[in-house]
């Protein structure tokens, strides 16, 4: 049974983080061409940054668990694994939906997804998703916590490595760093506020998942 103190703070963090992120999203300034429709891809971008934060923490916790032989840390590595991959899959689908709304494919001769996959960032997101699904299946093959925590850290490294590589390959559809290259400072400020809020939300989700893992361990 989950104790009161185990879920209260995580739920508060998740709710406050999400509420703040949505409030900041509604404050995101409209731009020429897309108007307020830009808010959806802005939210997607902020959640991507928050996801990268989770992957960075997964690297630290996963490798610390493995190399320092900290069995007690494995529950956190596992919680980060499920949370980071779950949020990534959700955000990947959200990004595809945002792209269909903001990119014009009316005169396209192929399905929109074929054009999406020509974009290095979308390719990266697809392969990170596919690799994440494989990582989620690894407990069916390996049962040692040390081995699984190593794969958690390795997955985090590969994810951030692929993300960096994607930024170096140019862009066919996605503008390079559209928010951070914006002339208006208010756009960057609101975006960073959204990102911080989503990091808070993501941290709450990790804590919720962790409490569920401990609940199962306690029986």
CB 15 within 8 A of CB 213: no
d(CA 28, CA 7): 31
Examine the pLDDT at 151 and tell me if it is beyond 60.
yes
Q: What is the DSSP string of the chain?
A: ---HHHHHHHHHHHHHHHHHHHHHHHHSPPBTTTBGGGHHHHHHHHHHHHHHHHHHHHHHHHHHHHHTT-GGGHHHHHHHHHHHHHHHHHHHHHHHHHHHHHS--TT-SS-HHHHHTTSHHHHHHHHHHHHHHHHHHGGGT---HHHHHHHHHHHHHHHHHHHHHHHTS--SSSPSSTTTT-S-HHHHHHHHHHHHHHHHHHHHHHHHHHHHHHHHHH-
What is the pLDDT, as a whole number, of residue 113? 59
**Is this prediction's pTM over 0.85?**
yes
Tens digits of residue pLDDT in 41-55: 899 999 999 999 999
What is the pLDDT, as a whole number, of residue 80? 98
- Average pLDDT estimate for 203-215: 93
What is the pLDDT, as a whole number, of residue 162? 94
At 19, is the pLDDT very low, low, confident or very high (cuts 50, 70, 90)?
very high
For residue 114, list its beta bridge partners.
none
Under the phi-then-psi rule, with left for phi > 0, alpha for psi from -120 to 50, and beta for the rest, what region is 182? beta
At 180, is the pLDDT very low, low, confident or very high (cuts 50, 70, 90)?
low
CB 82 within 8 A of CB 211: no
What is the pLDDT, as a whole number, of residue 6? 67
- Average pLDDT estimate for 175-179: 63
- What mean pLDDT, rounded, does the chain reach? 86
Examine the pLDDT at 219 and tell me if it is beyond 80.
no
- Mean pLDDT lowest among 31-45, 73-87, 140-154, 173-187: 173-187
What is the pLDDT, as a whole number, of residue 103? 66
At 177, is the pLDDT very low, low, confident or very high (cuts 50, 70, 90)?
low
At 136, is the pLDDT very low, low, confident or very high (cuts 50, 70, 90)?
very high
What is the pLDDT, as a whole number, of residue 119? 79
What is the pLDDT, as a whole number, of residue 53? 97
At 183, is the pLDDT very low, low, confident or very high (cuts 50, 70, 90)?
low
Examine the pLDDT at 114 and tell me if it is beyond 80.
no
- Average pLDDT estimate for 198-214: 95
């Amino acid at each position: 049974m989950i104790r009161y103190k185990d879920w209260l703070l995580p739920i508060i963090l998740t709710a406050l983080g999400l509420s703040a992120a949505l409030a900041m999203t509604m404050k995101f300034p409209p731009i020429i061409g897309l108007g307020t429709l830009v808010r959806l891809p802005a939210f997607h971008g902020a959640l991507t940054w928050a996801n990268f934060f989770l992957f960075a923490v997964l690297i630290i916790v996963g490798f610390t668990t493995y190399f320092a032989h900290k069995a007690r840390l494995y529950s956190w590595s596992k919680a980060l694994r499920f949370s980071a991959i779950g949020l990534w899959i959700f955000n990947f689908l959200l990004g595809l939906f945002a792209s269909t709304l903001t990119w014009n494919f009316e005169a396209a001769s192929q399905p929109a997804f074929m054009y999406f996959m020509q974009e290095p960032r979308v390719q990266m997101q697809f392969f990170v998703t596919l690799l994440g699904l494989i990582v989620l299946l690894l407990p069916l093959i390996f049962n040692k916590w040390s081995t699984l925590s190593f794969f958690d850290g390795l997955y985090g490294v590969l994810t951030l490595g692929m993300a960096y590589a994607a930024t170096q390959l140019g862009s066919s559809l996605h503008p390079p760093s559209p928010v951070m290259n914006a002339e208006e400072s208010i756009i960057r400020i609101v975006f960073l506020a959204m990102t911080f809020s989503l990091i808070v939300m993501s941290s709450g989700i990790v804590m919720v998942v962790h409490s569920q893992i401990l609940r199962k361990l306690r029986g």
